[in-house]
A and B are shown apart, each in its own frame.
Chain A
Amino acid sequence: MKAIFLLIILSLILAAGFLAAFFWAVRSGQYDDDYTPSVRILFDDDTTGKSSVTNEKQ
C-alpha cells in the first residue's frame, strides 16, 4: 500500500508545518494576550459604516 505511506508522509509533513507555525505563534508572543484581540475586532471598522440593525454602536 504505497499510497497509504505517501499520504501519511504528506500528512505528517503538513502536520510538521503546522507544528512549526504553532511554535512560531507561541514564541513570538501571538498568544501572550488571549483576551484583548477578541475585543479589539469589535472596534475595527466603525470609522464610517452607518449602523445596521444589529450594530448598537454610534
Chain B
Amino acid sequence: MAQVDKFQYDNDIVRKFLIASVVFGIIGMIVGLWVALQLIWPDLNFGIPFTTFGRIRPLHTNAVIFAFVGNGIFMGVYYSLPRLLKTPMWSKALSNFHFWGWQAIILAAAVTLPLGITSAHEYAELEWPIDLAIAVVWIAFGLNMFMTILKRREQHLYVAIWFYIATWVTVTMLHVGNNIEVPVSLWKSYPVAAGVQDALIQWWYGHNAVAFFLTTPYLGLMYYFMPKAANRPVYSYRLSIIHFWALIFIYIWAGPHHLLYTSLPDWAQSLGTVFSVMLIAPSWGGMLNGLLTLRGAWDRVRQDPVLKFLVVAITAYGMATFEGPMLSVKSVNAISHYTDWTIGHVHVGALGWNGFLTFGIMYWLIPRMYRTKLYSTQLANTHFWIGTLGILFYAIPMYWSGWTQALMWKQFTPDGYLKYANFLETVTQLRWFYIARALGGLMFLSGVFIMAYNLIKTARAGSFLAHEDAEAPPLAAHVTHKGEYWHKWIERRPVPFLLVSLVAVVIGGIIEIFPMALIKSNVPKIESVAPYTPLELEGRDIYIREGCMGCHSQMVRPFRSETERYGEYSKSGEYIYDRPFLWGSKRTGPDLHREGRGNKNSKSDAWHYNHMVVPQTMSPGSIMPAYPWLAKNELNTSRTADKIKVLKMLGTPYPQGYEQIAVQDLQKQAAQIAESMRKDGVQDDKLEQREIVALVAYLQRLGTDIIPKARAESK
C-alpha cells in the first residue's frame, strides 16, 4: 500500500478533560471530607441550609462520579479512541461542545443541589431541565464516537472500544429510563412510577450506573493504558474479549440486589442475587488479565509510579467485585444493608479503582503530551503511599463501623428485649470510626494535591503538543466473506449494533411513556391507604428538599430486630402514592416509616418541632443537623394546586376539582397541628404558616395508613 494518510490527533481536548477531572476531583473530595466531618460535628454546616448534610451529600456523590470520574472517562476515551482507530475524532466542534456542555451541567448541579432542587433518586438527583441537557451532551459524545468508529483506518475494534460502546448505549437507556418524570414547575417534577415500581427502576439504574459508568469505561481504559504503561500486550487478548461479553450480559440483571428484604417480590430478589454471584467470574477474569499483563515485569512496578497506581487500582477492582456479590447474598445483606459497610464497599471501588486508575493515567499522559519527563517520581511515590494509606484508613473503619452498627441493632437481651433500644446509642458509638474515616479521606485528598502540583510542574517544564502528527494507510476496501448477502451490509457498518440498541432505547422509551401501564400495577392494594393531604405533600417535598433520605430509610424489613424497634414491617401496598419513593439506602438515623402518630415510637407534634429546631435538646449527642429555618420559613403554597393536578394526572385518586380547595384544606390541617404544638408550649404567632408544620404533618402521617382506625383515634 503506497498511499499513506497523514492526520493529527487532538491532544488539546484530552488536556481539557484532564484538567477538569483534577479540578472537580479536588472539589468533589473536599465536599466529601466536609460531609464526613459533619457526621462528627453536625454544626460544621454553619447553620446554613445550603450546606447541610442532606443537600451536600448528593453534591459530593455527583461531583466525584460525574465530574471527576466522568471527565476522567472522556479524557481517556478522547486519547485512546483516535489512536486505536488511527483517525482523529470525527468532529472537533462536537468534542468541544461535549466538553463545555458537560462542564455547564456540572455547574448547574453545583448550584441546584445545595438549593435543595433534587429528584431524590440517588445518583440521578438532578432535575428534569438538567436531565435534558445531559441527554443532549451525551448524544453529541455518542455521535462523535460512532462517526469516528465509522471513519476508522483500522478494521479491528480493540476491546477497549467495545467497552466504550457498551458504556454509551447502556447509559443512554438508563438515563432515559430513570428520568421519566412530569414537571410541576421548572425545578420540580414527580416521577411517573410510584413506590415499589419507582424503587425498582431507580435501583436498576443505580446498579447499572455503577456498572456502566464507573466500571465498563474504566475497564476499557485499563485495557488500553495498562498495556501502554507496561509496554507489553495484555496477558490474554482472548480473555479480554470473553471478559467483555460475559460482563455485559450478566451485569444488567443484578440490580435487585439493592432491594433485598424490601417489599420487592421474592423471585426478583433471587434473580438479582444469582446474577450478582455469577458476576465474580468475568470480573476476576478481567482483574487477573490486567495484573498478569505485568508478568515478567514486576520489577518495573517498583520504579514506575504509573504502574504502581494501576496495580492497586486493578487490585481494588478485584476486591470490590468480590465483595459486591458477597453483599448480594441475602444473609450478608441482612447485616450490611443500611450500614457503613456499604460506604466502605463503594469507597474501595471509588478511591481505589476509579481514583487510582485515573491518577495512573494522568501521570502517564501529562509527560507524553508535554514531551518531557515527570517532574518528580518521588512526589508521585509519595502520592501513591499517602493515597493507599488513605484508602485503608477510610475502608477499615467503615467496615468496622458497619459491623458494630449492625450487631448493635440486632442485639437482644436474654429476656428478649432489644439491648440498644435507643437508636442514639448506636450512633454515638460510631464517633471514632467517623473520625478515622475523615482522616483517611484527608490523606487521600492531600495525595491529589501533591499530584496536581507534580503535574503542573511537569507541564511547565515541557512544551505542549496540541496536535500530534500521525499517519496510517487508509482502510483497505473490505473483502467480502462468502456468507449470506446481508452480512455484506452489516459488515461495512460497525453500527448495526448502535442502531439495534437505539431502537431498543426508543421502544423502551415508548413503553415508559404510557404512564397508565405503570400505574395500574398489581402491587397488592391495601384499602386503607390514602393519598397524602396537601399539607403532608408539601411536608414531603420539604423532606426531599432537605435530603432527609440521605440519613433515614423508610423501609422496615421483616426481621424481629426491626419490628421490635420500629413496628410492623413495611408492605409494598403502603407506598402506592409515593412519588418519588423515599426508602433511602443508609440509616445514619433511625428508620422513619413507622414514625407517624399512633405507631409504637410516635412522638408529639411539639417533640418533632423541638427536635427539628435543635435535635440535641431531645436527643443529646445526636449528629442530626439542626433545621431552625424550617421554623422561620413560610410555607410556599403557590404550587400546591399544580402538584395535586400532576399527581392526579398520574393516577393519585384525589377527588374531582380537588386542586381548587387543596390550599384551604392545607390551612385547616396546619391550624390543627399548630394548635397541638402550642398546647405543648411552642411559641410562635405565625406557626400555622411555617414550613415545619407541613414537615411534621408528613412525619406524623408516615406508616399510619395500616393502623386500624379505632386504635389510631384512641391514641
Contacts and interface: CB of A to CB of B under 8 A. Distances in A.
Co-assembled chains A and B: yes
Interface in B164-216: 165-166, 169-170, 173, 177, 193, 196-198, 200-201, 204
A14 B173 contact: yes
Given A14-B252, A38-B237, A45 B481 contact: no
A29 B478 CA distance: 11
A49 B521 contact: no
Interface string B219-244: 00000100111111110011011000
B496 A27 contact: no
Contact of A52 (B245, B373, B481, B494): B373
Contacts of B200: 1, 3-4, 7
B368 interface: yes
Given A24-B497, A44-B86, A37 B517 contact: no
Interface in B243-284: 245, 248-249, 252-253, 255, 265, 268
A31 B241 contact: yes
B83 A44 contact: yes
Interface string A25-58: 1011111011101110110110111101111110
Interface stretch (B14-22, B419-427, B466-474, B585-593): B466-474
Contacts of B196: 1, 3
A52 B371 CA distance: 7
A38 B448 CA distance: 32
B252 A13 contact: no
B618 to A, nearest CB: 39
A16 B9 contact: no
B169 A55 contact: no
Contact of A53 (B234, B248, B374, B481): B374
A1 B522 contact: yes
Contacts of B157: 25, 30
Contact of B504 (A1, A16, A33, A34): A16
Contact of B252 (A4, A15, A34, A48): A15
B708 interface: no
Nearest to B470: A47
Interface in B420-445: none
B132 to A, nearest CB: 20
B173 A39 contact: no
Contacts of B407: none
A54 B306 contact: yes
A27 B249 contact: no
Q: How large is the interface on B (under 10, 10 to 19, 20 to 34, 35 or more residues)?
A: 35 or more
B490 interface: yes
A33 B228 contact: no
Contact of A49 (B229, B368, B494): B368
Nearest to A21: B497
Contact of A41 (B84, B197, B494, B504): B84
B304 A1 contact: no
Given A18-B166, A20-B500, A53-B377, A41 B228 contact: yes
Nearest to A19: B249
Nearest to A22: B245
Contact of A20 (B248, B469, B496): B496
Interface in B475-505: 481, 483, 487, 490-491, 494, 496-497, 500-501, 503-504
The binding surface of chain A is classed by DSSP as helix
A46 B508 CA distance: 44
A52 B365 CA distance: 9
Contacts of B158: 37, 41
Contact of B204 (A7, A30, A38): A7
A6 B500 contact: no
B53 interface: no
Contact of A48 (B204, B468, B483): B468
B304 A54 contact: yes
Contacts of A4: 200, 265, 268
B368 to A, nearest CB: 5
B518 interface: yes
A26 B596 CA distance: 59
A24 B377 contact: no
B364 A54 contact: yes
Contact of A15 (B231, B249, B255, B304): B249
Contact of B201 (A7, A52, A53): A7
Given A15-B249, A33-B156, A37-B237, A50 B471 contact: no
A42 B228 contact: yes
A27 B433 CA distance: 55
A43 B170 CA distance: 31
B190 to A, nearest CB: 16
A45 B11 CA distance: 12
B616 interface: no
B512 interface: yes
B201 A3 contact: yes
B491 A28 contact: yes
Nearest to B303: A53
A21 to B, nearest CB: 4
Nearest to A4: B268
Contact of B227 (A13, A20, A41, A55): A41
A52 B228 CA distance: 11
A17 B517 contact: no
B521 A13 contact: no
A42 B501 contact: no
B490 A3 contact: no
A7 B268 CA distance: 11
A14 B216 CA distance: 15
B307 interface: yes
A17 B465 CA distance: 39
Contacts of A33: 156
B240 to A, nearest CB: 8
Contacts of B238: 34-35
Contacts of A55: 231, 368
21 contacts: A1-B196, A1-B197, A2-B522, A10-B508, A14-B173, A14-B504, A17-B503, A18-B245, A20-B496, A20-B497, A21-B496, A25-B157, A27-B483, A35-B238, A38-B233, A41-B84, A41-B227, A41-B233, A52-B373, A54-B231, A55-B368
Interface of B: 9, 83-84, 86, 156-159, 162, 165-166, 169-170, 173, 177, 193, 196-198, 200-201, 204, 224, 227-234, 237-238, 240-241, 245, 248-249, 252-253, 255, 265, 268, 304, 306-307, 364, 367-369, 371-374, 377, 465, 468-471, 481, 483, 487, 490-491, 494, 496-497, 500-501, 503-504, 507-508, 511-512, 517-518, 520-523
Given A3-B200, A29-B481, A38-B233, 11 more contacts: A1-B197, A6-B512, A13-B504, A18-B245, A19-B249, A21-B501, A34-B238, A38-B237, A42-B232, A45-B468, A48-B465
Query: When A and B form their complex, which 5 residue pairs have the shortest distance between CB atoms, in order from nearest?
Result: A21-B497, A3-B197, A52-B367, A38-B233, A13-B504
